[in-house]
Amino acid sequence: MSGVRVAVGVLNQTPFAWEDNLANIRGAIDEARAQQASALCLPELCLTGYGCEDMFQARFVRRTAWSLLEALVPATAGLAVSVGLPVEHEGALYNAAALLVDGAIAGLVPKRFLAGDGLHYEPRWFKPWPPGAVSTFTPPGSHPNRSPIPIGDLTFDVGGTVIGFEICEDAWVASRRGADLSRDNVDVIFNPSASHFAFGKQRIRRRLVLEGSRAFGVGYLYANLLGNEAGRAIYDGGGLIANAGEMLAEMPRFSFAPFRIASAVVDLDLARLGRSRAAGVEPSVRPREGRVRTPFTLPEAPPERARSHRQAWETASSARHEAFARTLSLALFDYLRKSRTGGYVVSLSGGADSAACACLVALMVRYGIDELGLAGFAARLGHVDGLLPASGVAPANDQDAAAIVVGRLLTTVYQSTANSSETTRAAASGLAGALGARHHELDVDGIVRSYVALIEGAVGRELTWERDDLTLQNIQARARAPSAWMLANLAGQVLIATSNRSEAAVGYATMDGDTAGGLSPIAGIDKAYLRGWLRWLETEGPAGIGPIRALAAVNAQAPTAELRPTRPGAAPQTDEADLMPYPLLDAIERAAIRDKKDPVEVYARMRALFPDLDAATLRAWVSRFFRLWCRNQWKRERYAPSFHVDDENLDPKTWCRFPILSGGYARELAELAAVDETDARDPNPSADAGRSTD
């Protein structure tokens, strides 16, 4: 046999949303069959959803997953299909892939290497399967006379084509499973994955797949999850098919569809030839106890040319900005769809953070309508009324349709106090109008004054800026929250909290003020990057959509909270004057938190990265960061759920654990205060420089 048509599927699943998950799997099988594929790889734990967390320990979840697997079996007639699910065997729970072949369950392959870093907690629920072990599995609730199913470190001979598995993390470790499969003369490797989005990660996946197919002499099928599955992690899809070191197919990422399929013809003879020539491959001649043979044969397919490997925007210099726009837009869409709420409310201050949140909601609509059409987009959000125009009132084009839908899904509100400026009011109003949001302007200064008067009466003195600066700033931010919540409640929408990662690092946010909300989409994004993204969105914008020129009024301003009155002759309040320059803050955060450097080491690195800054000032800023970081862990614990978009996140629930109470680096900061400047040089200053693009 030379050519076999194979397929990979990406699925937008939801934890134990049984009917939806099953429908997506059936749809993917039907589409693979329509593309004349005979083998289909689907993502990891796709029956239950990857993000079930402690619910994996619930017996009903495992039993229901198995019953749905059995219900899928007849749909695989004429195909070989892998489906991921949790399996309990001999008192332990495993993350397994089931291979269904021509209407029968051929066997189960449990994952060997479990992901336990960052946002992954697989060892909390699953056990790693021991290498080489093979057993038999009795399905739950099965008839006693039913034949047991092979489980373990298996390969499958499907009529002469041998299939093996690397399940997600199995391919990311140094001793990846594919080397054993190559020695066992496997022809095709299935990789069912749940690989969350992070900047630059698709490039790594391409390398894993391409190099795996070349080094192991195989056809390689990589299938991933898609969308905001369970609330925080976002899956970008991006299924891949490679053969003998050549990429045959790569799926577009960030789709708004429930599932997508890509297929290609793998040349098995070419892969086998490469395997036979490879000096590093030493075929095993031992008896193959873990080889399952099936009577079904994958039909031969004629050869074909490889397809385009990338979306056009991925090769542009702005690819990182485009990836950020697409991944957060998809995350917002799925959050809206799966929470069955009516849209989003943004307290639009005229500044960068709230502007970014509002723009992302508008981009969600544009991307969705561009891919699915207005009717398809409305159907995916079927719980929201009024997305389709009234009978006989059709928008002139998709752009007009998007503006109408944005008005239904996005509510913005500008809330002024005595310290608000005409500049921010005009910036907020102009952006809301350009996006098509339903916009309100409220004056909350009377509410602020009433709270101040109430407390002055209680404590028996006047509150002054000289004595009570922080209190008077915070009450303004908090006074805005109730009306924003009211607007969200009236419309059945989600209030978006607008704080960013730089603010989270040092606690530069008012709890129950600008942190108020049910979702915090940019809490994982640093301020310096966010401002650069907004400049790109103003001047260039996403491919096929273009720029949002109204952002000029936002981008022209220095970031400011506008909570303190400007005194005659004094400079106006700005974030960087309150804290430090944002690029420096972000560099300190990465060195201290990502790289786990102590204050002296961080200071040495900053001296190398920012040589023009005064040494005493820089030392004070480094010290300020560490003190504020320790003091404000309780704030980070209270942030609304945020989206994970890079592997430098500060979210204590999914990535960065830090004690709420600690010694606060007291000894280390004393060492910093006494440091000798002649020794304050980092021998490796480039460790913090540069970012990958994707």
Q: Residue 224 in contact with residue 235, Cβ under 8 Å? A: yes
Q: Residue 534 in contact with residue 555, Cβ under 8 Å? A: yes
Give the pLDDT of residue 145.
56
Residue 97 and residue 108: Cα distance in Å, rounded? 6
Secondary structure element (H or E) that encloses residue 107, with its range: strand 105-110
Burial (CB count within 10 angstroms: exposed 0-12, middle 13-18, buried 19+), residue 147: exposed
CA 598 vs CA 410, 624, 664: distances in Å: 44, 13, 11
Polymer length in residues for the chain: 694
- Tokens found for residue 530: 């966010």
Give the pLDDT of residue 400.
81
Give the pLDDT of residue 692.
35
Q: Measured at the alpha carbon of residue 598, what is the angle toward residues 593 and 599, in degrees to the nearest 5?
A: 105
- Tokens found for residue 165: 């598995």
Point out the residues of the chain with pLDDT beneath 70.
Answer: 1, 142-146, 279-288, 306-308, 391-394, 396, 677-694
Buried b (16+ CB within 10 A) or exposed e, 245-264: bbbbbbbbbbbbbbbbbbbb
Give the pLDDT of residue 690.
38
CA torsion 315-318-324-326 (nearest 10°) is -60
End-to-end alpha carbon distance in the chain: 38
Q: Measured at the alpha carbon of residue 123, what is the angle toward residues 121 and 128, in degrees to the nearest 5?
A: 140
3-class SS of residue 499:
coil
Secondary structure element (H or E) that encloses residue 95, with its range: strand 92-101
Residue 102 and residue 79: Cα distance in Å, rounded? 5
Buried b (16+ CB within 10 A) or exposed e, 366-396: bbbbbebebeebbebbeebeebbeeeeeeee
Give the pLDDT of residue 677.
64
Count the Cβ atoms, other than its own, within 10 Å of residue 214.
19
Give the pLDDT of residue 321.
97
CA-only gyration radius of the chain, Å:
28
Strands 92-101 and 105-110, bridge-based pairing: antiparallel
Q: Which of 653, 632, 560, 642 is nearest to 589 (CA)?
A: 632
Domains in the chain, start-ordered, CATH in brackets?
3-137+152-303 (3.60.110.10), 320-557 (3.40.50.620), 581-694 (1.10.10)
